[in-house]
Structure 1
Amino acid sequence: MVIFTEKKDIQSYLQAKKAQQSSIGFVPTMGALHEGHLSLVRQALQETDIVVVSIFVNPTQFDNATDLDNYPRTLPRDVALLETVSNNLVVYAPEVTDIYGEVAQSENFSFGGLEFEMEGQFRPGHFNGVGTIVKRLFEIVTPDHAYFGQKDFQQLAIIKYMVTAYNLPVTIHGCPIYREANGLALSSRNERLKPAYKAAAPFIYETLMAAKKQFGTKSVESITSWVADAFAKHELLKLEYFTIADEQTLKPITETVTNKTYRAFIAVYADDIRLIDNIPLN
């Protein structure tokens, strides 16, 4: 495994590999790696010659300073986990100054309105931070293929939009959500859940699956109210939002239309830990 902390060094290394006609796969992460991340790495290894994993906690996508401070930073453990998958990976673990210089500041983007739905309503500026870091990492790594999990489905849609809008020469792959046996979507934030909340968290996926069973036979309004009631009765979990949206536009719907695909999105607080999830409905 090769580990770089400065962009000039990884760029020099990858330019030499590209000169040998090697294809580059890229898995950008914020560290605190888990099996969900490793599943992305495994797919990238199957489809490309050289796989780069970035480990960087990006300050510009946090709207909550406490959340940024508390975000787990576990580089030695992350590297050890990656070694269980392959010893031929390239890791890029820069400091903030290597990415941003002296001032960590977001660019301003337009994502065709995708940024104003769901997460955009509750995390102002978040997607400018996401767009900034992903675009800069693409410019540094110059990957042929990049791999993202569908747990952050809105983020995935925004990155696809950005790649098209800026004519970035990279193919984006959206990979299935990796879940625990009880259905809970894997997240780096799960490590911070207190035992009682960790035990309660699978209720999120159970509720999504129950909503999916109702989809097509009950109205969107009825399903949305049912989900809100289910969480209102829960002792530990607090619903922030539940939305049924068009998969392409991410706009919430009130009724379905033939030949369109829909997805349910949810954000829930388990104590002070914010968890998100989503599932396709049709």
Structure 2
Amino acid sequence: MQVVNSKQELKKALKSYRSEGKSIGLVPTMGALHQGHISLINRCRAENEVVVASIFVNPTQFDNPEDLKKYPRTLESDCELLEPAGCDIVFAPSADEMYPTLPKLSIDFGNLEHVMEGKYRDGHFNGVGIVVSKLFHLVNPDRAYFGQKDLQQVAVLRRLVNDLSFDLELIACPTLRESDGLAMSSRNTRLSAEARKIAPQLHAALQKAKDLLIQGKTAAETQKEINSFFEAIPEFRPEYFEIADFDDLEPIKKMNTEGKTAICTAAYLDGVRLIDNIVF
């Protein structure tokens, strides 16, 4: 496994693979890897001849400087996970390498900028769109893999690929969960022991909402019951809890057609912002 830190090194590392016509898969990450990330690597390994993982804590997608500062950086242990999983190239650039000058470009993703994550994280998806565009240009993968835990990010990137005609296949992979239901996340390591015991209730809230909708409750009725659910767990500070259409993430009034209902939430616990969703 090669670890490269510059765009030039990456280009050189990929050159021989390209000359041989080998298929290339890309798994973009911000590091602090866990088994959820490794599941993406495994899928990428199964479907491509070359596996590239990027590790870059992208400053342009953080609206909170303190959150950026606290984001875990664990390159050495990340590489220890990636190599046995079959990763061929790790691209781990510095911020200066990725942004020799601050980008002047601004990408507007339409309605996705104003709901859920877009509503609460100003400029977040602009930062995501720019850095992922850079990675797509640098690696030129046949396929790129993202986790469904970041459902809105997947929707944003699908729009990016379609509107800018990136010649690749965007693949969303299922969320991996701990045995108690908590979605795997790099942020989980920042939870205290007590908060970690409470954290699975975020997924329990999603499951409860799903059951209520299946029973015929409206979105408004379901929201009311979920509000009461969170009031009983004061350790949580919910930011949003939305019942939406899977395709455009716009709010819906009742359960959608099969496979087209998304329930998404974000909440603070122990000072850590957790997100999760289910689609059914």
TM-score if structure 1 supplies the norm length? 0.96
Counterpart for residue 255 of structure 1: 254
Counterpart for residue 159 of structure 1: 157
Q: CA deviation at 1:259?
A: 6.5
What SS does the aligned partner of 1:63 have?
A: coil
Counterpart for residue 73 of structure 1: 73
Counterpart for residue 127 of structure 2: 129
Q: CA deviation at 1:12?
A: 2.2
Residue 199 of structure 1 pairs with residue 197 of structure 2:
yes
The answer on whether the counterparts of 2:245 and 2:256 sit within 8 Å (CA) in structure 1 is no
Amino acid in the other structure paired with 1:202: P
- Label 1:248 to 1:50 Cα distance change in 2 as closer, same or farther (>3 A): same
Does 256-265 or 45-54 show the bigger shift? 256-265
Counterpart for residue 212 of structure 1: 210
Mapped partners of 2:28, 2:145: distance in 1:
8
Counterpart for residue 56 of structure 2: 56
Mapped partners of 1:53, 1:222: distance in 2:
43
What SS does the aligned partner of 2:51 have?
A: strand
Structure 2 counterparts to residues 177-256 of structure 1, below 5 A: 177-216=175-214, 217-256=216-255
Amino acid in the other structure paired with 2:166: L
**Which 5+ residue runs of structure 1 have no aligned equivalent?**
none
Q: Deviations 1:211-260 (Å, cap 9, x if unpaired)?
A: 11111311110111111111112131111110000001110112345577
RMSD between aligned residues: 1.3
Counterpart for residue 90 of structure 1: 89
Counterpart for residue 150 of structure 1: 148
Q: Deviations 1:131-170 (Å, cap 9, x if unpaired)?
A: 0100001111111100000000000010010001001111
Mapped partners of 2:193, 2:106: distance in 1:
39
Q: Deviations 1:59-91 (Å, cap 9, x if unpaired)?
A: 0000000000000000001001112312x5210
TM-score if structure 2 supplies the norm length? 0.96
The answer on whether the counterparts of 2:213 and 2:254 sit within 8 Å (CA) in structure 1 is no
Mapped partners of 2:211, 2:123: distance in 1:
35
Mapped partners of 2:256, 2:141: distance in 1:
37
**Which 5+ residue runs of structure 2 have no aligned equivalent?**
none
Residue 40 of structure 1 pairs with residue 29 of structure 2:
no
Query: Given the alignment, which residue of 132, 135, 138 partners 2:136?
Result: 138
Q: CA deviation at 1:198?
A: 0.6
Residue 265 of structure 1 pairs with residue 264 of structure 2:
yes
Mapped partners of 1:91, 1:221: distance in 2:
46
What SS does the aligned partner of 1:179 have?
A: coil
Amino acid in the other structure paired with 2:235: L
Mapped partners of 1:89, 1:223: distance in 2:
46
- Label 1:56 to 1:219 Cα distance change in 2 as closer, same or farther (>3 A): same
Q: CA deviation at 1:57?
A: 0.3
- Label 1:50 to 1:238 Cα distance change in 2 as closer, same or farther (>3 A): same
The answer on whether the counterparts of 2:244 and 2:263 sit within 8 Å (CA) in structure 1 is yes
What SS does the aligned partner of 2:110 have?
A: coil
Counterpart for residue 112 of structure 1: 110
The answer on whether the counterparts of 2:220 and 2:253 sit within 8 Å (CA) in structure 1 is yes
What SS does the aligned partner of 1:37 have?
A: helix
Amino acid in the other structure paired with 1:96: A
Give the number of aligned pairs.
Answer: 279
Mapped partners of 2:18, 2:150: distance in 1:
30
- Label 1:66 to 1:106 Cα distance change in 2 as closer, same or farther (>3 A): farther
The answer on whether the counterparts of 1:237 and 1:269 sit within 8 Å (CA) in structure 2 is yes
Mapped partners of 1:7, 1:153: distance in 2:
29
- Label 1:222 to 1:92 Cα distance change in 2 as closer, same or farther (>3 A): same
Mapped partners of 1:259, 1:90: distance in 2:
39
Amino acid in the other structure paired with 2:240: Y
- Label 1:52 to 1:232 Cα distance change in 2 as closer, same or farther (>3 A): same
Mapped partners of 2:57, 2:176: distance in 1:
21
